[in-house]
Amino acid sequence: MSSIQRFTAKVSAVRQLTHDVRQIDLRLIEPAEIRFRAGQFVSFDVPDARTGRTVTRPYSIASPPSSIKTISLLLNLVPEGPGSNYLFGLREGDQTKFAGPAGNFYLRDDPTRELLFVATGTGIAPIRSMLSANAEHPTPSRMTLLWGLRSQRDLYYQDELARLSRDLPDTSHVVTLSRPEPGWGGPSGRVTTLLEREIHDVKRLAVYLCGNSGMITEVTRIIQAKGLCPIFREKYYDDASLED
């Protein structure tokens, strides 16, 4: 469907979502539109201060495919990470270049299956695109999101997820905190524990996992122990991006 292209874009907005998580919106200049599958990524050629060389760093598109003139990226700042340091340095009005779209982690069109999304940290980025794409479908599939974060200061997109669950009766989301501070009224512990408690029958599911490699390995084991279903995975490193 999509082929790799080179794009020039302008930063249209920068949103600081938490103490270390930022959303960057890029408006396409040339070409003026982008076509991609929900879950795919784009790549930036950035300088690596440690080696003096240029390196390529991929970032998942966090906006839905229906947004063809602007894409959103989601990232947190990784010390000495060349990709996140470059992107964190961008300001509104700056121009940048990237290549894409690419990647085999994308939402499949299978109306016979319900959707289960499991994310840790900024692994929510491609899944946010998938959630939106499914919500915009004429006949949305039933979907559940399980998202693991550290503490209350790491929460974001909560109003957006609540609105999605309210507007689509067959949609639900649960956020669990691994290191909650006093006053947290939601689930605590790792997302793997949440999965064990929330999901019992997997035979009608298609499962999409994005986050740290430990979570992906453990969730895959848990799902496969419950039965057979398709599992699609994207590893994020340091809960930051596909890189750094």
CATH number at residue 142: 3.40.50.80
Q: Do the beta carbons of residue 118 and residue 211 sit within 8 Å?
A: yes
Indicate whether 240 belongs to any domain.
no
Concatenating the DSSP letter of every residue in 40-60 gives -EEEEEEEETTTTEEEEEEEE
* Angle (deg, nearest 10), helices 213-226 and 191-198: 20
In a domain, 241, yes or no: no
Q: Is the pLDDT of residue 45 over 70?
A: yes
Assess whether 79 and 129 both reside in one domain: no
Q: Do both 118 and 184 map to the same domain?
A: yes
- SS3 state of residue 15: strand
Residue 228 has pLDDT above 60, yes or no: yes
Domain extent for 29: 5-102
For 153, list phi and psi in degrees, rounded to 5.
-70, -10
The last residue of one of the domains, among 47, 69, 102, is 102
Please report whether residue 33 resides in a domain.
Answer: yes
Residues 23 and 51 in one domain: yes
| 179 and 74, same domain (yes or no) | no
Query: Could you tell me if 94 and 124 lie in one domain?
Result: no
Residue 235's pLDDT is what?
83
Binned at pLDDT 50, 70 and 90, residue 240 comes out as very low
| Structural domain count of the chain | 2
Q: Are residues 132 and 189 in the same domain?
A: yes
The share of the chain scoring above pLDDT 70, in percent, equals 96
Residue 234 has pLDDT above 50, yes or no: yes
* 8 Å CB contact between 227 and 203: yes
In a domain, 244, yes or no: no
Asked, for residue 197, whether it belongs to a domain, the answer is yes
Same domain, 85 and 146: no
Tens digit of each residue's pLDDT (9 = 90 or more) over 115-161: 999 999 999 999 999 999 999 999 999 999 999 999 999 999 999 99
- If asked whether residues 92 and 132 sit together in one domain, one would say no
Q: Which residues contact 106 (CB under 8 A, 6 or more apart)?
A: 37, 38, 39, 40, 126, 130
Residue pLDDT, tens place only, 78-116: 888 899 999 999 999 999 999 999 999 999 999 999 999
Mean pLDDT across the chain, nearest whole number? 93
In a domain, 243, yes or no: no
User: Tens digit of pLDDT for each residue in 141-151?
Assistant: 999 999 999 99
Instruction: Write the DSSP assignment of 87-104 as a string of letters.
Output: HHT--TT-EEEEEEEE-S
- Whether this prediction's pTM lies above 0.85 is answered by yes
CATH assignment of the domain containing 74: 2.40.30.10
Domain boundary among 102, 126, 151: 102
Q: Specify the pLDDT at position 154.
A: 97
Residues 127 and 227 in one domain: yes
Domain assignment present for residue 137? The answer is yes
Is the per-residue pLDDT at 3 higher than 90?
no
- Do the domain assignments include residue 108? no
The SS3 assignment for 139 reads coil
30 shares its domain with 126: no
Last residue of a domain, one of 102, 136, 156: 102
Q: Are residues 14 and 57 in the same domain?
A: yes
Is 118 found in the same domain as 97? no
